[in-house]
Amino acid sequence: MSAAAIRAICWDVGGVFTATPHAAIASLAGEHEIDASSLSEAVFGRFEVDSDHPWHRLERGELELRDGWPLIEAELATLGIELTLRSVFRRISGSTGDRSEVVRLVREAHAAGIHNAVITNNVREFADIGDGRGWHRWVPLELMRVVADSSALGFRKPDPAIYRHTLAELGVDPHEAVFVDDTAINVTAAAALGMHGVLVGCDPGPALEQIREIVGLS
């Protein structure tokens, strides 16, 4: 695949424009001496399936946060530790990190004529939480041709529908697009459609270099 064939980069938000929440979950799990996957599943459900877990329902826009919150608190209670959902989110939001290099690459891609898009699993209320800008404050939305928010669309990653929707809105074929995410199953799902999948770790540097190589930005 030649670099010239790439016409779009589709970006996740949490874990790409911010530090990955997976690291915060692992840190909390270690402090409470429990398995990180158990804590992650209690809060977020299993990443590889679409289910009736309250977090999945929030991300599909089927629940309001005020209704989903106590349901997730109940999931946390089954772990037998003293940990509130507020504490979990406080730890996640306190480790946003400096991802200015990601924003810089978005700007470079835009300048090179490559479309940028967001594909995010998100909760409706998170769009304006905090200072009123919510998760939007981390993303240069003015450079995003498409914003695919699961809570508005009613389907979420790794459902192929959210990738197909974004590709159709962009007017590009799967092999003409790169997908960037910090959750492996979401990258795998995109790759299964023919997109170029890039997994972001705690250090985004290697992933950004991989994107540059795929796209052809020096």
Q: Are residues 209 and 128 in the same domain?
A: yes
Q: Please list, in sequence order, all residues whose beta carbon lies within 8 angstroms of the beta carbon of residue 178, skipping any fewer than 6 positions away.
A: 6, 8, 9, 10, 195, 196, 197, 198, 211, 214, 215
Q: Are residues 67 and 125 in the same domain?
A: no
Look up the domain containing 153 and give its range. Answer: 3-19+97-215
Q: Are residues 51 and 76 in the same domain?
A: yes
Least Cα distance to 91 among 38, 140, 39, 33 occurs for 39
Q: Are residues 13 and 25 in the same domain?
A: no
Query: Which residues in the chain belong to E strands, given as ranges?
Result: 8-11, 115-120, 144-149, 177-181, 196-199
Q: What are the φ and ψ backbone dihedral angles of 204, each rounded to 5 degrees? A: -75, -10
Instruction: Report pLDDT digits (tens) over 2-14.
Output: 444 999 999 999 9
pLDDT of 215 higher than 80: yes
Mean per-residue pLDDT, 137-149: 96
Q: Which two tokens stand for residue 189?
A: 């799902």
Provide the whole-model pTM: 0.93
**What is residue 97's predicted lDDT score, i.e. its pLDDT?**
73
The per-residue DSSP string of 6-67 comes to: --EEEE-STTTTS--HHHHHHHHHHHTTS-HHHHHHHHH--TTS--S-HHHHHHTT-S-HHH
Last residue of a domain, one of 49, 70, 93: 93
**What is residue 98's predicted lDDT score, i.e. its pLDDT?**
84
Instruction: Report pLDDT digits (tens) over 157-179.
Output: 999 999 999 999 999 999 999 99
Q: Are residues 40 and 148 in the same domain?
A: no
Last residue of a domain, one of 93, 119, 145: 93
Q: Are residues 170 and 125 in the same domain?
A: yes
Instruction: Report pLDDT digits (tens) over 57-110.
Output: 999 999 999 999 999 999 999 999 999 999 999 998 876 678 999 999 999 999
pLDDT of 218 higher than 80: no
Q: Are residues 50 and 152 in the same domain?
A: no
pLDDT of 53 higher than 80: yes
Mean pLDDT rounded to a whole number for the chain? 94
Q: Are residues 154 and 111 in the same domain?
A: yes
Q: Are residues 46 and 84 in the same domain?
A: yes
